[in-house]
Amino acid sequence: MTTEELPPLFNWDEMTPKVSRNNALAGQDILSVDQFDREKLSFIFSRASEMRDMVQRVGSADLLRGYVLACLFYEPSTRTSSSFIAAMERLGGGVIPITQGVQFSSVSKGETLADTVRTLEQYADAIVLRHPEVGSARLAADYASVPVLNAGDGPGEHPTQALLDLFTIREELGRLDGLKVAMVGDLRYGRTVQSLTKLLLHFDVSLRFVSPEILRLPLTTMNQVIAAGVDVREVYDVADVIQNADVLYVTRVQKERFADLTQYEEVKNYCEITPELMEAAKERMVVMHPLPRVGEIHYSIDKDPRAAYFRQAQNGMYIRMALLAAVLGRA
Ligand code: NCD
């Protein structure tokens, strides 16, 4: 049989073409929360709510069928990687998971980030990247022509986490304006703290930053807070702020970012949210944590209805479904 006689593999008339919807994030990278204004936030939140309804009613849909996402993780992850993978799969797409250690990829042979992303974009329609260096996602985006989503660049930013954090606050408390938010723990190296703080500045909030001296919020972020004119105060003891807080956002001391581990030892047990502390808190408030926790929240708090951290993790999947659909031009 000659090639001219080969019957065609595909019947194009029976296939639906890729439909592109022109939302403001279509084709964009997601590198920093600076890209989001109130309008984009409410777009993502309403799409995320639709994603949740869909998952709860039917489990999955075909919105991203035929699309492939590469998940490239140079740092450990449980929630971020699995929720991105689940997000893609619940929308009918596929995943290239490089999440179980880049030691099994050519990175261990010395391949640069630039070459790795330029290779992955030959196979994938978008790339999720977690990397220990600040600015790595931007560098990857400079090389890749497909959307790059920053899943954490060292102590820099974690925009998709901040979006799910903000979405969780709105879901739990029904609003974002008029809230008192206390952030507790490692405000210096915690990338989720930098990103969430910046997003909260779009709203009428008051902020309390609770940390030991060496883990105070970096000046660059603090200057943005001050420039935004919000009511802000730094305190050492969570007991001083818990009674007024609507949101208590607790974070882990980021051991992996310390150059001097004796300093880590000094602050690692800096704070634990206990049932006794919670007695002073409002009846309607939420305790959040990006997780993993390593002792900051006592396990007995988990059954307290105000403990929102596992619902927060679930919301991560809906937010990432919304983001993936948006950047791929399908939302
Ligand atoms: C956070 C991270 O990786 O920055 N985890 C997450 O993505 N949910 C927080 C942390 O590791 O402490």
Q: Which residue has the higher pLDDT, 104 or 130?
A: 130
Using CA positions, which residue lies closest to atom 7 of ligand 1?
80
Say whether pLDDT at 108 is over 80.
no
- Cα dist. 187→72, 97, 177, 263, 306 in Å? 26, 30, 22, 15, 22
Say whether pLDDT at 18 is over 80.
no
Q: Which of 290, 306, 280, 76 is nearest to 185 (CA)?
A: 290
- Nearest-atom number in ligand 1 for the CA of 191 is 4
Q: Which two three-digit tokens encode residue 124?
A: 């994938």
Say whether pLDDT at 4 is over 90.
no
Q: In the predicted model, what is the mean pLDDT of residues 256-282?
A: 96
Cβ of 195 closer than 6 Å to ligand 1, yes or no, is no
pLDDT at 237: 97
Give the range among 7-16, 152-161, 193-202, 225-234 with minimum mean pLDDT: 7-16
How many percent of the chain have pLDDT more than 70? Answer: 99
Contact 311, 10 (CB under 8 A): no
pLDDT at 57: 98
Using CA positions, which residue lies closest to atom 12 of ligand 1?
252
- The rounded radius of gyration (Å) of the Cα atoms in the chain is 21
Q: What is the pTM of this model?
A: 0.95
Mean pLDDT of the chain: 96
DSSP string, 268-281: TTS--B-HHHHHTS
Cβ of 80 closer than 6 Å to ligand 1, yes or no, is yes
- How many C-beta atoms surround the C-beta of residue 43 within 10 A? 18
Catalytic, 80? Answer yes
Cβ of 83 closer than 6 Å to ligand 1, yes or no, is no
